[in-house]
Each structure stands twice: as C-alpha cells, then as structure tokens.
Structure 1
Amino acid sequence: MEILAFGVQADEQPLIEQAFAEAGGASAPGGGDPVGVHCLKVFLTADTAPIAAGHEVISTSVNADLNARVLRVLADGGTRMIAQRSTGFNNIDLDVARELGLCVARVSHYSPYSVAEFAWTLAMAVNRRIVRAAGRTRDFDFRLDGLLGRDMRGRTAGVVGTGKIGEAFTRIAHGFGMRLLGWDVAPNQECLDLGMRYVDKDELLASADLVSLHVPLLPSTRHLIDATALRAMKDDAILVNSSRGGLVDTDALVDELRAGRFAGIGLDVYEAEAGLFFLDKSLEVVEDDTLARLVTFPNVLVTSHQAYYTVDALGQIIEATVQNVTDYLAGRAGDNFLVRGPAREDRAPHRHSDPGRAE
C-alpha cells in the first residue's frame, strides 16, 4: 500500500520517508503489501484532490483545504483515511467526513517548546528591532537611531490561552522576570505556581506590555483580537500570534498600525495564509492588499507559519502520523482520531450522486 502525503516540505520529506519505511517493514495487516509513502510538494485543494484517486490513505498538511467538495472528491476516488500532520483541524469539514464514512486523524500534541520559543523569538525581534538592524549592517550602516527597545524584566506578559504551549511561553516570561497575567476557560496550576494571575480578557489587554496568543481557532475565538480588543491594548504594547491567523482581525490591525500604535507586531500566522504560506510567490503580484500593507510597517514582522518547524517537533508530528495510519490499518482508533468511520473491512467505495457539484 502507498500512502500519499500532500504539502511535504523539503526538510520534511526524508523524515517522513524514513519513518514510514521503518514502520512499513512488515506487511500491512491481513497479509497485504508493505506500507510506503509518496510525498508531494503540492497542497491538497479542490484542484489537486483528484491526484489522490486510488489511494486509500492520504496525509495532509495544516494548510490543506478539506472542505465538503474536496472530501467528496477524495471519497469518490477511494480514499478512506486522512491523517493530518497538525494539531488544528479547523480546515476540515468533520460533519461531511462523518457523512462520507471517512476516518480522520490529527496530531493532538507535539513539542510545545517549538512554538513557545518561536513566539518569544518574534517578541524579542520586534522589541529590539533585529530585522531592521540586520538590514542596516548589511549596508554598513551602524547607526542606532530607531533601534531603541525595552527590558522585559518587570513588565507584564499577557498570555491568552495557557495550555501546554501557553504554559511553556509563561515559563520563559517568568525567566525574564515579568509579571504574569493569563486568560483561559480554566486556570493552569503550573502557571499559577509561577505567579500568574488570571483575569478577564479586557483587563489583560489593557494591562499587558506583551500579549501572546495560544488558543485554537474556533467559532468562538475567530477575531478574538478585533478592533475593540486592539483599541483596549496599550499604544506601546507588543502583540504576538503564533497560533492561528483567524484569531486576529487583520484589517482592524492594519487600521491601528496606520494610526501609529504598537511597539511591535509579530505574526507567524495570517488569516488568509492558505495559498500563500509555504509557497514561493516572489515572482508574482500579491493580490492580497491587506498582507501587502501589513508587511510594509517597520514595527511588524511576519513569518510563514514556521513556529512548529523544529527537528524535535517535526519528528513527533511524523511519529504520531505514522501511528495514526498504523492504527487505521490495524482496525484501531486511537486518541488522535477526530472521525473514526466504520471498520476498515466494512468500508465500501463511496459514490456521491453529484461529485462535481460546488459547495
């Protein structure tokens, strides 16, 4: 059996191939062929979904578009299992997957330090004007004008979401000697032990010198940082988002930046990143006016969804993905399964009455 993996980065490919080679040394359950993997650079979209025809199992990246139309194309082509290589799954229409009898799994967790450390990298880069300084020194301009930063010690960190990643971010903030404010549906005892005080969102935004977002993207959290929230923040605050782009209303953020607000903005995610991030668009005209404007501000740093991209986290993501596929082939449903689907032996090819219809 061959697994088809979409959206595989160059650094990721040898790790995926090695992991599946080691796991697929034995025959698949039931005496089938050994399990292998074929990696594709292209991301899964409505245009690329037909490539999966004939592959029972596929693996997708965080930027895959698994809407109803794509899922129906996959099901009609014989796909029965989708193993997503990410924690978030807001890009998957789980109701339609369930309707089609597809099995869907994700990676429920991986190294929280990869994202937390990168969030701090963004925070310190905008605080100390590292990108501007590096650009100057390449031109042998060694002036310090415009590079004034601030000590973090004694200032207030507002951590929005204190799960595993938020907790790791909090530990680093504690190491800097910062005051700690948190906002979440329930307090994390580990954060409380570090001296964190849980407050409502309005108080956190009004008090924090640094706000870092670590919550999932849900209907209830979309545009959690909207125009009202942005206006509540200090004029010289730093905002970091390494979670999901949809947490921030980017148009509202641009409006506030145009008004000269905020000491720095560090974004590793963007709400309209699909079709842009992970791709080389350097020779094309970028039609996204909001993003084009955003990257022109000298106090803004945008990176392309790379916070998770360490050898440690990537190894754990791939290991979990291989385990999810192995569980599916063995007829097991692990804790990472979002939609379990019928037993593998009961799976008949799905045929939708109108697979080409638009959703």
Structure 2
Amino acid sequence: MKIAFFSYKSYDKEWFDPYLEDSGLEIDYFRVRLVAETVHYAKGSDVICAFVNDDLGKEVIGKLAAIGVKMIALRCAGFNNVDLEAAETHGIPVYRVPEYSPHAVAEHAVALILTLNRKIHKAYNRVRDGNFSLSRLVGFNLYGKTVGVLGTGKIGRVFAELMKGFGCRVLLYDKFPNAEMQEKGYPYVDLSTLLRESDILSLHVPLLPETAHIINRETLNMMKDNAMLINTSRGGLINAEHAIQALRTKKLGYLGIDVYEQEEGVFFQNLQEQIIDDDTLGLLMSFPNVLVTAHQAFFTREALDEITRTTLQNIRDFAEGRSTGNRVRPPGR
C-alpha cells in the first residue's frame, strides 16, 4: 500500500523507515500540512497519514475521496481535526493511535509545574549569563498542595499518581469516574469543587464540543486566586483571551501550556527569523508567569516507537480487512 505522509518532520523518517522493510508499505513523505490546497500530493496513494494540525474537514475529505484515498491513518490520539461524518459518508475509515505513552504526557505536565514553580528556565538563563542571584526565584512546596485533575483517562490517571508521589492532595473530576482510581481512594468531586479547591489544575480531557473552552471567564473566576493552570491536552480547552485577562488581573498565578488553540502553522516550525503573526500567542509569551512549550509532551523515544508501530499496524489491519478498536466513528455509529 502507498501512504502519503503529511506534516513530515525529520524524526518521523527516523522512526518509520526501519519498519518498512518487507512490510509491503511504501511511504511518500511531504513536509506540507494537509489542507485543501495540498490534497493533490496524495494522488495515487491508498492511505494518508496525518498529524494533529492537518485539516481533515469536510472539503478535504471530499477531495481525498475523489482521488481514491481509501483510509485515514492518524498518528496521534486526538481526532478533533477530523470530520468523522464526512469520512463515514465517503466510506473512508479513520484510525488513530489511542495511546502511545501516557507517562510521556503526564511527566511533561509535571515538568511544566516544576519549571514554573521553581523558575528553572529563568535560573538557567541567569546562570549562563553569570548571574547567580536568587532574587525573584522563590517558589513553593508541592507537598501538601491540592492538585486537581480534570479528566481521568490514562494520562490523567498517571498524572494523579505522580502528583500523589509529591505528597499532594489529589482531587479528580470526570463525567465517567474510573473505578480503579476510586478503589485506590482518590476522591472524585464536582467541577466547581475541583476549581475552587485546586492550587494546581491540570487538564487531561479530549477536545469535544462539550469540553471546548471549558476554561473560560466563568471557570477561571471560580478558581483559587494565584492558582496554576496546566494544559498538555488540546489548546481549545482554554479560551486564551479569558486566560490573558485572568493573568492581567493576577487571578491566575501561573499558566503552563504545551498546546495552543491556534497552533497550526506555528508549532512544529522554526520561526526564529520570522515575525509570528499571532498577537494572542505573543501576549501570552510576554507574561513572566507563563510557560509555553511547542506540543512536545508526547516527544519521547518510547512514545514515538509506539506511535510508529500502532500507525503501521492500523494500516496493515485495514489492508487485511481486520476490524480493531482503533477505528474512530461518528457518535452513535
């Protein structure tokens, strides 16, 4: 089978190519994002392999169907960028990687917390410039603090366990509480309680219509003064304009994000010599109590290996007519 691989980065080839020998699969790598104007790159391919910022809306899927693409293989867990109804209508199955390394993402959330709190990034830059002053580097003990976990899928559960290890009081919220976490004694609370009592709130829910901008003016106002907000899930969970206002009024004490709602065309690119035409992102990065990383929470050797193996297995399963739980369908299908 021939695969059109969009949004290619050098590390992708490093991981995927070793698995291709004797696999019957052939990959054409394209650096461009998949959008309506780049669909033609997939002509002659059976499968397109897409990443988080590729556009798989109705128009793009219609064009993919018109050139004979038979399958969409996502090399990520999220599928909020896919019009599943359109894919179903055109008979193009969509497969994803439901998990690759919950520990990778959960550990990155912890890294954001520790860096923001103890100002590691600022201290590193100071020392390199010969400044060994401790002025304005004071942090706080994690021990004894209340950490709220919004969403207890696999990543959220791993994150909760990690924070418990720091001696934190951990509160959980999920529409569908996890029985294993309840058996371990982790308390589930309602959303308003989670917001009111958390010194640190970490987001671990998928981006769905009901979770879009779940962090907004109203929910931010419910949070503790000077609380820390961490997002390693999807940028659209946070209304960035409302977060900026909360930072300006000092309602929100810290913000650590690995994802951003308008990250397409910015994240995964080297823009050092360019002007970033995004005033909201620029403003966020200007705050001394905001830390932005470029969607790298997943970026470990273990995770990349699992993404590669699962993506290629999904394609083989499709080619051989096997149905798996990795296929994503529209609600109710």
Q: TM-score range by the shorter chain?
A: over 0.9
1:211–1:238 contact (8 Å) kept in structure 2: yes
Among residues 230, 241, 248, which one is paired with 1:240 in the alignment?
230
Structure 1 195/150 Cα, relative in aligned 2: closer, same or farther at 3 Å?
Answer: farther
Unaligned runs of 5+ in 1: 25-33, 341-359
Tell me the secondary structure at the aligned position of residue 197 of structure 1.
coil
2:217 equivalent among 227, 230, 236: 227
Letter of the structure 2 residue corresponding to residue 139 of structure 1 = D
Distance 2:184 2:219 in 1: 26
SS of structure 2 residue aligned to 1:42: coil
1:172 maps onto 2:162 in alignment: yes
Query: Is the contact between residue 174 and residue 194 of structure 1 (CA under 8 Å) also seen in structure 2?
Result: no
Q: For residue 104 of structure 2, what is the aligned residue in structure 1?
A: 114
- How many Å apart are 1:40 and its aligned residue? 2.1
Measure, in 2, the Cα distance between the counterparts of 1:137 and 1:261. 30
Query: C-alpha distance in 1, partners of 2:325/2:179?
Result: 24
Q: State the distance in 1 between where 2:223 and 2:255 align.
A: 12
Check the 8 A contact 2:247/2:253 in 1, yes or no.
Answer: no
- Alignment-mate amino acid for residue 10 of structure 1: S
1:334 aligns with 2:324: yes
Q: Which runs of 5+ in 2 are unaligned?
A: none
Does structure 2 conserve the Cα–Cα contact (< 8 Å) formed by 1:241 and 1:267? yes
Aligned to 2:156, what secondary structure does the other structure show?
helix
Matched, 1:2 2:6: no
What residue is the counterpart of 1:13 in the other structure? Answer: 13
Matched, 1:275 2:280: no
Once superposed, which parts of structure 1, at least 4 consecutive aligned residues long, lie more than 6 Å away? Answer: none
Q: Secondary structure at the match of 2:180?
A: helix
Give the TM-score of the pair, scaled to structure 2. Answer: 0.96
Q: How does 1:1-359 map to 2 (within 5 A)?
A: 1-21=1-21, 24=23, 34-339=24-329
Q: Is the 8 A contact 1:167 1:190 kept in 2?
A: no
Q: Displacement of 1:193 after TM fit?
A: 4.1
Secondary structure class of the residue paired with 1:264: strand
Residue 172 of structure 2 aligns to which amino acid in structure 1? G
> Aligned partners of 2:127 and 2:173: how far apart in 1?
40
Instruction: For residue 126 of structure 1, report the CA deviation from its aligned partner.
Output: 0.4
Relative contact order, CA 8 A, sep 6+: which one is greater? 1
Give the letter for the 2:233 counterpart.
S
> How far has the Cα of 1:287 moved from its partner?
1.7
Structure of larger gyration radius: 1
Q: Equivalent residue of 1:8, what SS?
A: coil
Which shifted more, 283-292 or 318-327?
283-292
> Alpha-carbon deviations, 1:267-326, whole Å to 9, x = none?
000011112111122222222111110000001000111111111111111111111100
Normalised by the size of structure 1, how large is the TM-score? 0.89
Partner SS for 2:252: coil
What is the letter of the counterpart of residue 2 of structure 2?
A: E
| Preserved contact between residue 65 and residue 92 of structure 1 (Cα < 8 Å) | yes
Deviations 1:123-162 (A, max 9, x none): 1110111111112112111111111101111110100001
Q: Do 2:44 and 2:67's aligned partners in 1 also have CA atoms closer than 8 Å? A: yes
Code of the residue aligned with 2:196 in structure 1: it is: A
Q: Which amino acid aligns with 1:7?
A: S
Aligned-residue offset at 1:331 = 1.7
Once residues 49 and 55 of structure 1 are traced to their aligned partners in structure 2, the CA distance between those partners, rounded to angstroms, is 11
Deviation per CA, 1:183-222: give whole Å up to 9, x if none: 0012223333443211111111111111000000000000
> Is 1:7–1:43's contact at 8 Å kept on the other side of the alignment?
yes
CA distance in 1, matches of 2:280, 2:91: 39
- Output one character per residue of 1:310-357: Cα deviation in whole Å (capped at 9) or x when no partner: 1111111111111110011112222111259xxxxxxxxxxxxxxxxx
Q: How far is 1:93 from its partner?
A: 0.4
